[in-house]
Amino acid sequence: MSPPAPADPNTMDRPPSGTGRPPIHTVLPPLILGTATFNTQYVASPLTMPSTAIITQALALGLHAFDTSPYYGPSELLLGAALSSLSPPPPRSSLFLITKCGRLTPTQFDYTPPHIRYSILRSLKRLHTPYLDLVYTHDAEFLSAREVLTAVRELRRLRDEEHLLRYVGISGFPPLRLAELAELVLAETGEPLDAVLSYGHFTVQNCGLVSGGALERLKGAGVGVVLNASVLGMGLLTSRGIPADREDGTSPLAGWHPSPPGLRTVCKGLAGMAEKAGERLEGVAIRWAMEEWAREGAGTGVDVMVPGEALPRRVGGTVCGVSSVAELDETVKEWREVMAGLGPVAPEGALERREKVGRLVRDEFWPALGEWKDYAWASPEDGFVNQRKPEEMGTVPDDGIVSAHELRIQLNG
C-alpha cells in the first residue's frame, strides 16, 4: 500500500468542482478504514477506546480513507478529534473522508433536503474539514424510491452549488434493492451514482452481492464503484461471536444485531473449525472476503485503481472496521498479503495461504453453514414504519451550524 500523494498547497482546502472531478475509481483507495466500531453498538465504551491510536497507526500503515456516519454515535466526533489532534495534522488533500446522511436512529429517517443539508454541515464541523469526499444516503432501503431520489438530488446540489462534497452514493443491506435504486437514479437524472456501499453480502457466510445478480445490475446502472463492507458480518464472524440470547449482557451486539439465533450459533461453530486448522475465524473471514472481492471486482467496471503502481491495476474495494490497533495490524497484514498474491509474481507462500483459506471456507465452512449459507435477514423487517413524524420532517436543531454556514457564505460573497 502506497503512502498518500503529497499535498498541493493550492488545493488542499478545496474540493475539485464540476466536470473537473476525476472518476472516483482513480482516487478512492482500495482499502478503507470503517469507524462504525467507534460506537456503543460494538464496544461498551467508545469514548475510552484507542481511537486516536487506531487512526494514527492507520495513517502510518498507508491507510488514508475513512468511512463514518452520524448514525454511528460518537464516530464522527472521535474520527475528527483524532485527525485534528495529530501534529502536524495530515494535509486535507491526503485524506479521503466518507460519511453518510439521512438515518437518525434505528427507527427514524429524514431524507428531506433541509435535513440532508444540515447533516452535511454538521459532519463538516465534526470532522474539521471544509468538504467531504464521498457521502452516501444511509440505509436507503428503509425509504421510498422517491425519497432516496430527493436526497441524491440534494447531495448533488450541495456538490455543484455549495462545493461541500465531491462524490455521491447510496448505502444499504439488500443488494437487489440497491441495484433497483441505482437504476432509478440513472433513469431519472441521467447521471449514475458515483458509489454504492454494500455490507454483509460478500462474506464467508453470505455471497449475495454476486450470487443474486445485483452486481451485474449495478454495473448496468453505471455505478462508479461498488464497495464491500462488514466482511465479519457486523461481528457475526468472530471468535467471540454473538450470543444467541438477545438478553445476554456479555456482548453489546446481542441486543441489536439482526441475525436470528440459529445463524449466530452456526457461525460460532466456525470459530472451532478455524482453530483446528491453526487459524482465527477473523483472519480467515477477512482474508477470504478481501481476496475474493479484490479478484471478483477486478476489471468489472465497479472496481478501484491500485495507487502507486507503474502498471495500472484495478481491484474490488473493501471497507474494514476495527476496535483496536492489534485488529488494524492484522487487517492490514492480510490486505498486504492479498495484494502481493494478486501481483504479477506472487511471493513465496502466497498461493499456499490462498489455497488453505479457500479449502477451509469451501470444504468446511460452507457445508457446516448448510441452510444458513447466503442467508440474509430482512431489511427493513416487514411492517417497518418510519417513526420520524411528518411535522418533524425537514426540521433541524437550532444549534448554530446552519446559521454559521450562511454567515460564511455572506462574508465570502
Q: What is the pLDDT of residues 80-127, one digit of tens each?
A: 999 999 999 999 999 999 999 999 999 999 999 999 999 999 999 999
Residue 186: which pLDDT band, with cuts at 50, 70 and 90? very high
pLDDT at site 249: 87
Quote the mean pLDDT of the chain.
93
Whether 4 is in a domain gets the answer: no
Whether 246 is in a domain gets the answer: yes
- Percentage of residues of the chain with pLDDT beyond 70: 95
110 burial via Cβ count (<10 Å: 0-12, 13-18, 19+): buried
Whether 9 is in a domain gets the answer: no
pLDDT at site 4: 35
What CATH number does the domain containing 76 carry?
3.20.20.100
Whether 389 is in a domain gets the answer: yes
Q: In the 8-state DSSP scheme, what is residue 2?
A: P
pLDDT at site 413: 66
Catalytic residue flag (residue 72): yes
Q: Nine-digit cell at 343?
A: 501481483
Average pLDDT over residues 361-368: 98
How far, in Å, CA of 19 to CA of 10, rounded? 19
User: Which amino acid is located at 318 in the chain?
Assistant: T
Selecting among 72, 118, 136, 167, the annotated active-site residue is 72
Q: Are 112 and 71 in contact (CB under 8 A)?
A: no
Q: Nine-digit cell at 26?
A: 482513480
pLDDT at 18 over 50: no
Whether 8 is in a domain gets the answer: no
Q: How many domains does the chain have?
A: 1
pLDDT at 173 over 70: yes
Say what the pTM is. 0.94
Whether 241 is in a domain gets the answer: yes
Structural domain boundaries enclosing 368: 23-411
Q: Nine-digit cell at 196?
A: 454504492
pLDDT at 213 over 70: yes
How far, in Å, CA of 135 to CA of 171, rounded? 9
**Span of 32-46, 209-223, 227-241, 372-386 with lowest mean pLDDT:** 32-46
**What three-state secondary structure class fits 25?**
helix
18 burial via Cβ count (<10 Å: 0-12, 13-18, 19+): exposed
Residue 1: which pLDDT band, with cuts at 50, 70 and 90? very low
User: Which amino acid is located at 184 in the chain?
Assistant: L
pLDDT at site 10: 31
pLDDT at site 394: 97
pLDDT at 308 over 80: yes
Average pLDDT over residues 133-142: 98
Closest CA to 148 of 110, 175, 122, 121: 110
How far, in Å, CA of 60 to CA of 5, rounded? 14
Torsion from C-alpha of 60, 287, 291, 269, nearest 10 degrees: -150
Alpha helices per DSSP H over 9-144: 51-60, 75-85, 113-127
Q: Nine-digit cell at 20?
A: 473537473
Terminal CA-CA length for the chain: 42
Q: Are 236 and 196 in contact (CB under 8 A)?
A: no
Question: Quick one: three-class SS letters along 329-375?
Answer: HHHHHHHHHHHHHCCCCCCCCHHHHHHHHHHHHHHHHHHHHHHHCCC
Locate cell 448448510: which residue? Answer: 370
**Span of 40-54, 170-184, 382-396 with lowest mean pLDDT:** 40-54
pLDDT at site 46: 85
pLDDT at site 67: 98
Nearest-Å Rg of the Cα atoms of the chain is: 21
Q: Nine-digit cell at 43?
A: 464496544
Bridge partners, 321 (sequence order): 34
**In this structure, what are the phi and psi dihedrals at residue 208, rounded to the nearest 5 degrees?**
-60, -25
pLDDT at site 324: 95
More confident: 310 or 144: 144
Reported as a single tens digit per residue, the pLDDT across 243-290 is 999 999 888 899 999 999 999 999 999 999 999 999 999 999 999 999
Average pLDDT over residues 169-191: 98
User: Which amino acid is located at 374 in the chain?
Assistant: D
Q: Are 171 and 135 in contact (CB under 8 A)?
A: no
pLDDT at site 77: 97
Q: Are 273 and 365 in contact (CB under 8 A)?
A: yes
Locate cell 474490488: which residue? Answer: 316
Residue 45: which pLDDT band, with cuts at 50, 70 and 90? confident
The number of helices, as runs of H, and strands, as runs of E, in the chain is 14, 12
Whether 59 is in a domain gets the answer: yes
**What three-state secondary structure class fits 151?**
helix
pLDDT at 343 over 90: no
How far, in Å, CA of 174 to CA of 377, rounded? 9
Q: H or E stretch including 199?
A: strand 195-199
Whether 288 is in a domain gets the answer: yes
Q: Nine-digit cell at 131?
A: 468538504
How far, in Å, CA of 346 to CA of 357, rounded? 16
pLDDT at site 106: 95
